[in-house]
Copies of this chain bind each other. A is one copy, B any other.
Amino acid sequence: MQTHFTIDCVIFSFDEGQLKILLAERNEYPYKEWWALPGYFVNKYEEMEDAVSRILFEMTGLKDIYMDQLAAFAGVKRHPEGRILTVAYMALVQMEEVKNKIAPTSDYMRQLKWFPVAELPDLAFDHRDIINLSLERLKKSVTYSTAPYELLPTKFTLTQLQQVYESILNKKLDKRNFRKKINNLGYLKELNEYQKGVSYRAAKLYSFDKKKFHKQFSQD
């Protein structure tokens, strides 16, 4: 037995103090005019990694984004025309970097829009389940992975970092305790630069040292 086979992408970013997901308005039946995860069919002789890059580019205009496999969804009834197996991937991107690049390069999607995770519209297929699973996965990884730094610009303030943690964990954290913990991580670099363009005391900027991070986690 054979099945159709697609890839769907959960793209997270962080903006205006909120965790956001990139959704696409479908231009095809079924679910025409519904919001959905950017995704499409895999070609016959195409490796999944290549398919992910291609589909992501066709649906969103994004290139060179690291995507992590989330899970396969293959419910018989998830698509009205019969089973279509989808492999969901997730990625984290910096809003500033991608903001102006985002536009579908194919006709399958009408428009793209960032939605805060707390305000998602009704979604096509089982895409809501896919997102829920990706949120759990993200929550589990936030303390041990580079996730927060993939969502933030290269230079960021500690308050921004805290907001990222809070939006992923979906709870408030204590400022002093958060900073104490962050100080002990050992892979953040305090810069001699300050935030600009704010109408209050400018915060110090920090950057993430990927090498130090990986050194620490490869010792185990």
Contacts and interface: CB of A to CB of B under 8 A. Distances in A.
Contacts of A74: 5, 42, 48, 87
Contacts of A76: 45-47
Contact of A71 (B2, B3, B47, B69): B69
Interface string A32-63: 00000000011111111000000000000000
A75 interface: yes
A4 interface: yes
A134 B41 CA distance: 27
Contact of A72 (B2, B46, B83, B87): B87
Contact of A2 (B2, B45, B69, B75): B2
A5 B84 CA distance: 11
Interface in A1-42: 1-5, 41-42
Contacts of A95: none
Interface of A: 1-5, 41-48, 69, 71-72, 74-76, 83, 85, 87
